[in-house]
Structure 1
Amino acid sequence: MRVWALPLALLALAACVTASVAHRRAARPPAIVPMRAAHVDPGQLAKRLASIQPGWPRARAFDCGRVKCVALTFDDGPGDHTGRLLDLLGRRDVRATFFVIGQMVAADRGGRLTRRIVHEGHEIGNHSWSHPALTGLSDEGVRRELRHTGELVRRLTGVRMRVMRPPYGATDKHVARETRREGLAQILWNVDTLDWRDRNSEVVARRAGKARPGSIVLMHDIHATTVRAVPHVLDTLSRRGFTFVTVSELYGRPPVPGKEYTERR
């Protein structure tokens, strides 16, 4: 090799090495940077849920004066069996009304089930904080039971509840006055499955299946036997031509605060 050609050969070799290294770097997969789990702010989630369902609960287009409607209602949760119940209702695209106890909401692992009730389009109602007979409380006592639950549910979900159910169905003029002040209608029932007493799924399903058009059916999502009865209830009432609605949908408008409702006649 001539002396003058040596520098040119070295430059060419260096260029090849540089190109090879660059090619290997480009072919190498990018480094994986671990991601930290995002912190979910319950308050922000509540705002998001409220934005998803403005004016919640939004009634669907049912005319229960013409259609055979029935409102299934569940008390005393959210509890250990509420998630399974929501699964069952979701698979059938059925909406119901859940009357929740404040203490149960507070124990609900950050409000997971409470938010799910709202997010899946069910109606949520106030069933007091600790389930006392409201007729035995002072005015302040009734307000405290309702407000504590109402404030907690609103903080978790962004929803202001419009309906309530007095524990044991115990109400009087005094309770009516306080619920009216709190903007809550009193929702009772005309079909009692007595599922708290008779923990028998077949018996519960048979009683619920006797609903008539406009009925409000009382059940409890804290009992496994009740949840097991729900598919049979849905099958029986579906065969009879019923449409499943929330309480507010049953009446086609927000129920009047303080007023008692047992069924749509």
Structure 2
Amino acid sequence: MSRQSNSLLAIAAVTLALIPAPALADTTPTPQAGKAATAKTAKPVDCAQVKCIALTFDDGPGKYAGKLLDTLKKYDAKVTFFLEGQYVKSRPSYVKRMAQEGHELGNHSYKHPKFTEIEPWAIRSEIQKTQDEIKKAAGVEPKILRPPYGLADLQVTEVAAEFDMPVVLWTAGSRDWDLKDVEAIKKQTLEVAAQDGIILMHDWVKQTVEAMPSIVKTLQSRGYHLVKVSDVVKKHELKPGDVFPLPQGWEN
């Protein structure tokens, strides 16, 4: 797979308008967050051999992230969090816990601007500031980028390549930002669930977090392994600046 090389045409991966979470500081840790635990050494999952799905959470960490992490820990499920630097700064304890409990951290900008409408230096700043905040909070730096709103063009992919990051979008969405209803979010998520799927969700949506125990249990009962997005895309051998899944109209 190669990056689009013809123009700076901005292409949205989907038409969903992602609304960032309110910037309310919430640094109160959940009971588990105060423990000096280290990330579990989990047995690697081979998605070429088992049925995998990646749940991904954008715009966080939201104020309900602690409850979500409790659910994921209970059911031994792993997910990927695409974090905004501004919320990492206000809720660092959640980010530290995400890393400690073996979840994957991705970069989702600092303040959620449309990367296709700002200058390259501004994109670099958004990415770098978020890398710095995540490193400060969790001791690790993201290796994958998801641009706000899923918008990417040649300029965005070139900057992503400078940071040695592929751009990882999604195959389907939970529509949780719009539905705001536990049963509707559960129904939508289970309907779009597919092997090697990458599902877009948000941990700032209270109803999503409330729906997660049922969603996780149902997916696991259907034989799915809930894994990090890097496990799902591993077979594609993404290079810095590559985009996956490739938006319609982009070259293969």
Query: Cα–Cα, structure 1 residues 135 and 255, in superposed 2: closer, same or farther, change >3 Å?
Result: same
CA contact 1:134–1:142 (8 Å) conserved in 2: yes
Q: Deviations over 1:149-186 (max 9, x none)?
A: 00111122221210111111111111011011112221
1: CA distance, partners of 2:183 / 2:123: 36
**Which range moved further: 57-66 or 157-166?**
57-66
User: Could you tell me how far apart the structure 1 residues matched to 2:130 and 2:47 are?
Assistant: 30
Q: Which residue of structure 2 lines up, in the alignment, with residue 213 of structure 1?
A: 195
Which residue is 1:259 aligned to? 242
Q: Does 1:94 align with 2:94?
A: no
- In 2 relative to 1, CA 59–174 (structure 1 residues): closer, same or farther, beyond 3 Å? farther
Q: Which has the higher contact order (CA 8 A, sep 6+)?
A: 2
Shift of the 238–69 alpha-carbon distance from structure 1 to 2, 3 Å rule, reads same
Alignment of 1:98-113 (within 5 A): 98-108=81-91, 111-113=92-94
- Counterpart amino acid of residue 240 in structure 2: P
Question: What TM-score do the two structures reach when normalised by structure 1?
Answer: 0.74
TM-score normalised per structure 2: 0.78
Asked whether the equivalents of residues 164 and 240 of structure 2 are also in contact (C-alpha less than 8 Å), the reply is: yes
Cα 1:206/1:247, change in 2 over 3 Å: same
- Residue by residue, what CA displacement relative to the aligned partner does 1:48-77 show, whole Å, maximum 9, x if unpaired? 98xx56xxx977422212211000100111
Matching of residue 70 in structure 1 with residue 59 in structure 2: no
Partner of 2:148: 167
Secondary structure of 1:90's match? Answer: helix
Instruction: Spell out the pairing of 1:18-97 with structure 2 (5 A cutoff).
Output: 60-97=43-80
Show the counterpart of 2:14.
Answer: none
Stretches of structure 2 lacking an aligned partner (at least 5 in a row): 1-35, 247-252
Greater helix content: 1
TM-aligned CA distance change 1:148 to 1:59, over 3 Å: farther
Identical residues among aligned pairs (%) = 36
Aligned equivalents of 1:258 and 1:59: distance in 2? 28
Structure 1, unaligned stretches of length 5 or more? Answer: 1-47
Matching residue of 1:35: none
The number of residue pairs the alignment matches comes to 209
| Larger Cα-atom Rg | 1
Q: After TM superposition, give the deviation of residue 255 of structure 1 in Å.
A: 4.1
1:185 aligns to 2:173 (yes or no): no
